Amino acid sequence: MEHPEAQQAEAQGLGIGMVGYAFMGAAHSQGWRTAARVFDLPLRPAMAAICGRDPDAVRAAADKHGWAAAETDWRDLIARDDVQLVDVCTPGDSHAEIAIAALEAGKHVLCEKPLANSVAEAEAMADAARRARTRGQRAMVGFNYRRTPAIAQARRMVAGGRIGVLRHVRVTYLQDWIVDPEFPLVWRLRRELAGSGALGDLGAHIVDLAQYLAGERLVGVSALTETFVRDRPLPGAAGPGAAHSGAAARGPVTVDDAALFTGRLASGALASFEASRFAAGRKNSLRIELNGDHGSLAFDLERLNELSFHDHTAPAADSGFRRILVTEPDHPYLAAWWPPGHGLGYDHTFVHQARDMVAAIAAGTDPEPSFEDGLQVQRVLAAVEDSAEKNCVYTPVPA
């Protein structure tokens, strides 16, 4: 039986209000705009309002991405009668305040990853989501890479025993957008806004993916982190040539540039993780491999319609990694899209995310990943930071 909230939404459509309009706001807009045009949804998302502090910029974003109205205060957006779901696409420092207020106002909530900037904030958000669940409201954290068809297919294969008993998981997520030491001190490089650096921005994704594909959680970590460039020009402070002449005002970088950590899963399987925004030549390179006693699976975001699979139970003479092209209609999500062989892209993960959120609301079921899942990832990130702070480096005694 559907919850009353879902029945009401079915009669009226599902009004979406989004806070934030930059990179993630554009990506989420694509998801909400497209989902009902591709999938037969039980509720039809209506892009009611978008919110941002700059009136001209948010109005331009509304016009560009298809939102019916623009607001400059997220409290006004939450109060709108035509908004039943609040989508939070702001920097991490405001996630908890906005998401909790929306849940307490009776709205469903989708919140970008990482869930919060601290474990305490994430706990408060998970508590609010649990209370809201009793009223029929749903909350989900936006780990969009779960919605890549190849990743969802890999989960099916691991759960179905295709690689046997899991032994190893190794994941890397590499970018290079701040290699230049004169790149400005944007919000992602400030702890008070972002919470952490590569660890939260990239590491949250790979922790979630490792646990999702393995079907189990990390129970321990050991870590190293590093900040390679300790101060950067303040945004807008440098005129032409000023940064390289040393004339620009600068501020401290207060987050990590890279994180390396190992971990142990609940079953005893070992895991290794690398997240860096200093890997020159790597734009958005995410790779994960799982090794079991019956085989191995690997995924590379730069080949996001493919899996590499090795069946270790096959005769040695014809064993080895083979390519699985994940474009068949019986692969996850793909029956609604194009004929086999016609691949999808990054933006489609947000369409699938919107589809899954709407389906859960209509069914009165809990979407995944939940705020509790987001909290668990936040606890892993906090454990990584704690381990990195306490890690001792021993210098060998000279011979």
Per-residue pLDDT tens over the stretch 257-290: 999 999 999 999 999 999 999 999 999 999 999 9
109-132: per-residue pLDDT in tens?
A: 999 999 999 999 999 999 999 999
Of the chain, the percentage scoring pLDDT greater than 90 comes to: 91
Q: Is the peptide bond before 329 cis (omega within 30 degrees of 0)?
A: no
pTM above 0.95, yes or no: no
**Residue 88, amino acid:** V
Q: Beta strands of the chain (E only): which ranges?
A: 14-19, 45-51, 69-71, 85-88, 108-112, 139-142, 166-174, 218-226, 231-233, 250-252, 258-265, 270-276, 285-292, 295-300, 306-311, 321-325
Looking at CATH, the fold of the domain delimited by 149-303+305-344 is given as Dihydrodipicolinate Reductase; domain 2 (3.30.360)
Residue 236: per-residue pLDDT: 83
Rounded Cα–Cα distance for residues 268 and 273 (Å):
16
In angstroms, rounded to a whole number, what is the distance separating the alpha carbons of residues 214 and 227? 30
The H or E element spanning position 63 is: helix 55-65
Q: What is the pLDDT of residue 10?
A: 43
Alpha-carbon torsion, ordered 131, 137, 143, 148, to 10 deg = 150
Tokens of 399: 């011979």
Q: What is the pLDDT of residues 56-91, one digit of tens each?
A: 999 999 999 999 999 999 999 999 999 999 999 999
- Residue 382 and residue 117: Cα distance in Å, rounded? 10
Before 369, cis peptide (omega within 30)? yes
- The SS3 assignment for 53 reads coil
How does residue 4 score in pLDDT terms, banded at 50, 70 and 90?
A: very low
Listing DSSP states for 116-174 in one string gives -SSHHHHHHHHHHHHHHHTTT--EEEE-GGGGSHHHHHHHHHHHTTTT-SEEEEEEEEE
In 3D, which of 32, 13, 16, 93 has the Cα closest to residue 350? 32
| 206-259 pLDDT per residue, tens | 999 999 999 999 999 999 999 999 999 999 865 444 445 456 799 999 999 999
Return the CATH fold of 4-145.
Rossmann fold (3.40.50)
Q: With CA atoms as reference, report the closest residue to 111 among 76, 138, 77, 82.
A: 138
pLDDT for res 252:
97
CB of 325 closer than 8 Å to CB of 78? no
Q: How many CB atoms lie within 10 A of CB 150?
A: 25
Residue 130 and residue 371: Cα distance in Å, rounded? 9
Q: Would you state the pLDDT for residue 248?
A: 72
Total count of residues recorded for the chain:
399
| Mean pLDDT, residues 367-390 | 97
**226-232: long-range contacts (C-beta < 8 A, 24 or more apart)?**
226/256, 226/257, 226/258, 227/197, 227/253, 227/255, 227/256, 227/257, 228/257, 228/258, 228/278, 229/178, 229/181, 229/253, 229/257, 231/185, 232/181, 232/182, 232/183, 232/184, 232/185, 232/189
CB 171 within 8 A of CB 290: no
Tokens of 64: 């560009």
User: Cβ(96)–Cβ(125) under 8 Å?
Assistant: yes
Biggest CA-to-CA distance, the chain: 79
Locate the domains of the chain by residue range: 4-145, 149-303+305-344
Average pLDDT, the chain: 94
